[in-house]
Amino acid sequence: MSRKLGLNIGGRRFDVDVDEKFAVFLEEQMRKDFNIEGNNDLKVLLHAYVRKNHDLYLQEQKIEEIAKKLEI
């Protein structure tokens, strides 16, 4: 089952269809990063992208740290 989530960026509406289970998580994250009810400019989109990639970077660093501990 899929669910449609939408976001306004630069005055245009963008909708995506995602799996229902993922939609719950994604919608929560989108509420943290964007104005769900209104428009978002491109700068907001760029900041959200950088934040999420920073989170991913930190997560990968933690995974590498754990993997090194498991090698011992």
Q: Rounded CA gap, 47 and 3, in Å?
A: 25
d(CA 7, CA 65): 36
pTM listed for this prediction: 0.80
Q: What is the mean pLDDT of residues 45-70?
A: 97
Query: Which residues span the domain enclosing 10?
Result: 2-71
Please report which confidence band the pLDDT of residue 72 belongs to, taking 50, 70 and 90 as the band edges: low
Token digits of residue 12: 């245009």
Could you identify the residue written with the tokens 């978002």? Answer: 40
Cβ atoms < 10 Å from Cβ of 23? 18
Please report the pLDDT score of residue 24 as a whole number.
96
Q: What's the domain count of the chain?
A: 1
